[in-house]
Amino acid sequence: MLGEKVKLRVRMSAKDAHYAGNLVNGARMLDYFGDVATELAVRLDGDEALFRTYEHVDWLAPVYAGDFIEYVGWFEKVGRTSHQMCFEAYKVIELAKGDGVADSAANVLDPPILVGRAVGIGITQKHLQRGAQDPAFEGLRKTEETK
């Protein structure tokens, strides 16, 4: 793993639920992986970059409205204009279910549950690269001099 991890924690809302039983559409995970990718790109190059493709996506466990999901991403490889990123999503809190349990009851999950992961490629055009905006990302971008 290169550089540092970026984290984003989000609570899935009722408007995120797409299927019966308040099940959240897996595509919502891709939205948040995209937000993590944007932050990674800004920290690396000072630009939001363009997300080119997902090489693969794995949905590993269901996510429901009310769940708190932590999205994590990091650079796996960094080239002159492209960067490969890895993402993981963890359920860290879920609503408690059962007879006699209040609708507002929730459980902290220890350990968190891995609910998804993906690998994707982003591109920051050379003329848009302004240099690392985070010292932890200094030196990750290959330059002509280090080629």
The two structure tokens encoding residue 71 = 């999205």
SS3 of residue 141 by DSSP: coil
- What per-residue confidence (pLDDT) applies to 15? 93
Distances (CA, A) of 16 to 36, 69, 113, 117: 18, 12, 19, 19
Look at residue 99 in the predicted model and tell me its pLDDT.
Answer: 85
- CATH code linked to domain 2-127: 3.10.129.10
- C-alpha span between 76 and 68 (Å, rounded): 26
Q: What's residue 1's pLDDT?
A: 60
Give the neighbor-by-neighbor strand order of the sheet with 106-123: 2-11, 68-78, 82-95, 106-123, 50-59
Question: For position 139, what pLDDT does the model report?
Answer: 85
Distance CA 58, CA 72 (A): 14
Which residues of the chain fall below pLDDT 70?
1-3, 142-147
The pLDDT assigned to 46 comes to 94
Q: Which residues pair with 123 in a beta bridge?
A: 50, 82
Q: Which pLDDT score, from 0 to 100, does residue 141 have?
A: 79
Whether pTM > 0.75 for this model: the answer is: yes
